[in-house]
Structure 1
Amino acid sequence: MPSINFSKKSIIFITGASRGIGRTIAIELSRRLEQNSILILLARSEKGLEETKAQIGEVDKGITVQHYVTDFSKPNIDDYTKLIQKVLESVDTKGIELGMLFHNAGYVGTVKQTTDLTDITAWREYYDVNLFSVAMLNSIFIKKIRPVAPQLVVVNITSLVGRTPFANLAMYGSGKAARDIFFKVLATEEPNVVVFNYSPGPVDTDMFEYIVENAQSTEVQKSFKETRESSILTTAQTVNKMLELLEKGDFKSGDTIDYFDS
């Protein structure tokens, strides 16, 4: 695959950019990006987005940073179209060489036995955020950014739970599995778009803590607690590994690579 050169003028969208992995992607990218680049931060929390923006400013004041409060629990193609149109009208698109979208927003859902996952509203809400909003935003991103940026890259933050069954994580795992195949099909259909599925490993985030505290099974809680004590990663460790993999380009579009893959 062509390696991704972050030192070109870029326009990069990051969902879930108000905390955790999303915030770290934004900050670590700002260390690599060409100064005229544009970072677009999307999440529900205005306060969190402002904090991310402030931290980017400490790294590099030359990058244009915009943030938009976006609620991915209400997927709406018109809203995403207006959002990306608004971005394009407000920035200097001249000379952009790279357009990227990091699909990072998401949540774990209900952590119970499969036979107890009977709340249809919880299922719908989970899929609205974790799959339907992703598919809608992705479509608009490719259609609107393609005329602006000669190279397009889409990164799906996935998880081992989408490929390996973990007790109590049927909802979370099914969403990740659905997203993985969605992006593999995208890679098949769009040979000019670089598609990368990245599995960040066990990371010290609110999401990981949520499983430790809320899993129905005490065995699952115990297993996650043990991971937290022995092999949990920082967001910076896993994000830098992901960016290095993108820079090397040593993968086929549509591949899924885990932090622990050699």
Structure 2
Amino acid sequence: MSSTESTDLGRALCIITGASRGFGRTIAREMSRLVKPGSALVLAARSGDDLRALQTELAESEAGKAGLVVECVVADVGQIEGLESIVKASKEAFSDDIDHVVLVNNAASLGDVSRYAKSFTDMAEVDSYLSLNVSSSLCLTASVLQAFPQRPGLRRTVVNISSLCALQPFRSWVLYCTGKAARDMMFRVLAEEEPDLRVLNYAPGPLDTAMLTEARSRTADPSIRTSFSDMFAQGQVLTCEASCAKLMKLLLEDSYTSGAHIDIYDLDTA
């Protein structure tokens, strides 16, 4: 851990899932500004059009003009073929002078929040959700760590985009809460097993995204639904940019305990 905040992420290979919109798109933009020339971004999502629009935007940015390589991978992380294509693109984007590999596990879905736990009798439905939201994160992370093993001069950082739902139960959100709790524990175990690795579970807070719109409109539990609607009405929803700035500060300072769950509201608001 460094005691002083760095001003950049180094000459980095940054792999970001769910990068086509929302928080993942913002992470891609911010990381592009914080990496040294010679860095590469591998952006994965299911929406090819949105990814390519982001790729064009980054190519025309200062970082792009300074030689930042931006690779798009149109992939479903819930499928093994999707994970394989992300790892392949990452290997191809890697060069010997890269000194930092950063994997951001951001891709996630809310699941069906219009129902309560007792309605989930279909194992295939639950398995499909867990494949996209849990299994994929473990398998992609393991594949990336194997593709870029520990060696002198190479830093490796794994970020899991977490949630308050990893810690607290929300009525009618059984799939989402289960998935987030499982992911947090997965990365806590990883931090114990791999002491050279920097692992962060970051809960970005309630963000102004399509997922929050879905939560406000489809949540079965009236009290949970009302709390989200009130939060939105009272302007308590955060922009992706504000939350992402806090995440980048955490990564630059690099003083968090590996494996820790850090919520944006745990951080100094200054």
Distance in 2 (alpha carbons) for counterparts of 1:92 and 1:169:
39
CA contact (8 A) 2:13 2:94 kept: no
Cα distance change, pair 109–10 in 1 and its aligned pair in 2 (3 A): same
1:140 aligns with 2:136: no
Pick from 231, 238, 242 the counterpart of residue 243 of structure 2: 238
Q: Report the alpha carbon displacement of residue 6 of structure 1 after superposing the two structures with TM.
A: 3.0
Distance in 2 (alpha carbons) for counterparts of 1:134 and 1:47:
23
Cα distance change, pair 173–7 in 1 and its aligned pair in 2 (3 A): closer
1:166 aligns with 2:163: no
Q: Report the alpha carbon displacement of residue 248 of structure 1 after superposing the two structures with TM.
A: 1.2
Structure 1 equivalent of residue 192 of structure 2:
188
Structure 1 equivalent of residue 255 of structure 2:
250
TM-score normalised per structure 2: 0.90
Q: SS of the counterpart of 1:24?
A: helix
Structure 1 equivalent of residue 159 of structure 2:
155
Cα distance change, pair 152–5 in 1 and its aligned pair in 2 (3 A): farther
TM-score normalised per structure 1: 0.93
Q: SS of the counterpart of 1:107?
A: coil
Query: What whole-Å deviation, never above 9, does each CA across 1:132-153 have from its counterpart, x for those lacking one?
Result: 1111111110011226771100
CA contact (8 A) 1:152 1:194 kept: yes
Pick from 93, 96, 108 the counterpart of residue 94 of structure 1: 96
Q: SS of the counterpart of 2:266?
A: coil
Q: After alignment, is 165-174 or 2-11 more displaced? A: 2-11
Pick from 110, 113, 117 the counterpart of residue 112 of structure 2: 110
Unaligned ranges ≥5, structure 1: none
Q: SS of the counterpart of 1:66?
A: strand
Number of matched pairs: 259
Q: SS of the counterpart of 2:256?
A: coil
Q: What amino acid is aligned across from residue 67 of structure 1 in structure 2? A: C
Percent identity among equivalent residues?
Answer: 32
Q: After alignment, is 162-171 or 196-205 more displaced? A: 162-171
Structure 2 equivalent of residue 20 of structure 1:
22
1:72 aligns with 2:77: yes
Structure 2 equivalent of residue 197 of structure 1:
201
Unaligned ranges ≥5, structure 2: none
Cα distance change, pair 143–5 in 1 and its aligned pair in 2 (3 A): farther
Structure 2 equivalent of residue 123 of structure 1:
126
Structure 2 equivalent of residue 43 of structure 1:
45
Q: SS of the counterpart of 1:260?
A: helix
1:53 aligns with 2:55: yes
Distance in 2 (alpha carbons) for counterparts of 1:184 and 1:227:
30
Q: What amino acid is aligned across from residue 24 of structure 2 in structure 1? A: G
Distance in 2 (alpha carbons) for counterparts of 1:193 and 1:5:
20
Superposed, 1:209-228 pairs within 5 Å as 209-228=213-232
Q: What amino acid is aligned across from residue 259 of structure 1 in structure 2? A: I
Q: SS of the counterpart of 1:96?
A: coil
Distance in 1 (alpha carbons) for counterparts of 2:135 and 2:90:
22
Q: After alignment, is 17-26 or 224-233 more displaced? A: 224-233
Distance in 2 (alpha carbons) for counterparts of 1:79 and 1:108:
20
Q: Report the alpha carbon displacement of residue 94 of structure 1 after superposing the two structures with TM.
A: 2.1
Q: CA RMSD in A?
A: 1.8
